[in-house]
Structure 1
């Protein structure tokens, strides 16, 4: 029977994933405002946006060290408070160098939340005894949806942008305060790690060579591929539909919208799917479905069929990463404070580097070839995971 402490921790972790999605997505509608305020062209804006990703990448490998010393609950608290305080600043800074620095710091806070919430989610799942990671990531997607629309809605309601951003920051802090005491404390986390990883926490963290464990790196590499596809859809799907399918520019975002909704729905229902079919089946089947979706959207001459391809891609990719986090949190002899930061960092690197890699392929060949390269990588994930020892 599941104890009340674990049930409350699960609900609290769901709120943290929602907070992270809400926080990072709230930056998206600020980007055009920042571009106009700072007087940037597209190239300069691209360099500025890189600051956020670099901040996250720098912080993610270090977060495991802080977790091992303080526990995920304190790291989550510090990271959320830091992000909430920085968010309104992104609307008022008028110096590009200071903006880059603050955006870097904001990325650091988001990276800290991301690693800590996934590490905490894995521990709650282990204690819960049932898959929960897919629904947690689904709530991150829901938070992203509300975050991308929330700032604009508040401005539309009559608030000026800075007051709207402060309102969102207050909401983030209130949600954190409301659920903080229900998150697992440090001693509870150590007990769970000892039980499910069969490893002493301090001994595990002290050996940094465990970062180079082949099982961890393999999961990280496959996570890189899946996150690469998400970054590709975000940055290239609209261009693909406009240039390759002759869709009007004002409707070119429909592909990413279809992909995102399909992914969110599948993640919210993913725990029952993983329980019924096993994580291995979800990864292999999801990779094949995602690959099929890409081939459909690239070869189809009809828009409706292309959108079906985007939906298949979102459905297939949705629950792969949650399974990887679940597996990474149970590798014998390794602590989640070692494995989760590595897997998260490699995955996030794929989301950042992916669009640039696709741009390189598209420049030398075509965007269609670039998309089909992702399809082949998904097939590789299916084959690798099929051959991987359980």
Structure 2
């Protein structure tokens, strides 16, 4: 009788974890959808506030600074109240941020609103990833790549529809529409998110363990972090500047320009959903090298062409290349010998995310002096140089640690 009871409990636990897996995926979708919906608005904000590339770079910098600060705060909150509650705390301002940002009348008020927006996005990102770590332990399988695939899918939908809807219905109606959709998704799925309490299979602890160890002394961890930073610099450059690049350099309209990030996100989403199979087939190092070549060549094409649609195709191909590079790097960090996995991943996560959050402002400064096409070309060359460091990804093939650490990308 006791055996049957245990089996029933185990089945209920797995069923709840599977439901929680899709609920968490919906949170990734919402986060990506809101961020993707913001991207087509950037040229309009720059025009309305009369900002050049330098000033726009400063504005975008506020988004990144808010996110970096909130990531640390979110980690502390997760340790105290759990990832599920922390996720709600940050999801709420993400939901309502877009209309607020777009209603700001001047540079400084917009910068303040973007700081809060970036902080909410960054804090929500950490909480989502922590919740997926919990789910991977309960399901005993990796789901990180596909979870981030939903983020990319949300970015694709937000970017693709954003430019069209902004032209047809206007700036604020589009922003409020994004908010309404986000409210409906979060309110309908939050209750089935995995709680940080409950049974875990294979005797693993019932809560996510938050290590507070010292920074690792192994240089390899910081090399991997620098590699992740560079990969995410390219992603941030496309997120924040691709629409403006197509409009200024190629005279594309708003609807067409919105497809730059949408194509990138859509291609990345599809590739991430297939990423685990590809890596199992080719191995981490080979997958990383092939991905880097694709990303470097495609981004170089985007920086050299004069046709907006060819540039959109090139940005999409860049998404195919970058999609699995960062997940491989995070897996490699978590499997380094003689280094606490939690500490290693936290270091690489912070370094990597600083690329997508802070680099766009630097790119704006450089773009103002040399042109965005030249910046994309320079990033392509740096992505190519990463192939010389691909051997650092070898430990990502260590399979036994996948359900123990839960690296993200």
TM-score by length of structure 2 reads 0.75
Displacement of 1:101 in angstroms is 1.1
Query: Cα deviations across residues 146-188 of structure 1 (Å, max 9, x unaligned)?
Result: 2224455555665x54344233223222212222222221224
Give the Cα–Cα distance (whole angstroms) in 2 for the partners of residues 26 and 293 of structure 1.
24
Q: Tell me: CA distance 1:340–1:94, structure 2 relative to 1, closer, same or farther (3 Å).
A: farther
Displacement of 1:305 in angstroms is 9.4
Moved more, 36-45 or 325-334: 325-334
Structure 1 segment 37-116 matched on structure 2, within 5 A: 37-116=48-127
Query: Cα deviations across residues 93-141 of structure 1 (Å, max 9, x unaligned)?
Result: 2133222111101110000111221222233234323332222222111
Structure 2, unmatched stretches of 5+, are: 1-9, 399-409
* Structural RMSD (CA): 4.3
Asked whether the equivalents of residues 29 and 151 of structure 1 are also in contact (C-alpha less than 8 Å), the reply is yes
TM-score by length of structure 1 reads 0.78
Select 1:224's aligned residue among 229, 233, 252: 229
1:272 corresponds to: 277
1:370 corresponds to: 378
Structure 1 segment 142-161 matched on structure 2, within 5 A: 142-151=153-162, 158=169, 161=171
1:185 corresponds to: 195
Aligned length in residues? 381
Displacement of 1:14 in angstroms is 1.1
Give the Cα–Cα distance (whole angstroms) in 1 for the partners of residues 327 and 131 of structure 2.
13
Give the Cα–Cα distance (whole angstroms) in 1 for the partners of residues 183 and 359 of structure 2.
31
2:179 maps to 1:169: yes
Asked whether the equivalents of residues 219 and 343 of structure 1 are also in contact (C-alpha less than 8 Å), the reply is yes
Give the Cα–Cα distance (whole angstroms) in 2 for the partners of residues 312 and 278 of structure 1.
21
Give the Cα–Cα distance (whole angstroms) in 2 for the partners of residues 275 and 124 of structure 1.
21
Structure 1, unmatched stretches of 5+, are: none
Moved more, 282-291 or 16-25: 282-291
Give the Cα–Cα distance (whole angstroms) in 2 for the partners of residues 154 and 107 of structure 1.
23
Displacement of 1:319 in angstroms is 1.2
Displacement of 1:65 in angstroms is 1.4
2:200 maps to 1:195: no
- Secondary structure of 1:187's counterpart equals coil
Give the Cα–Cα distance (whole angstroms) in 1 for the partners of residues 396 and 387 of structure 2.
14
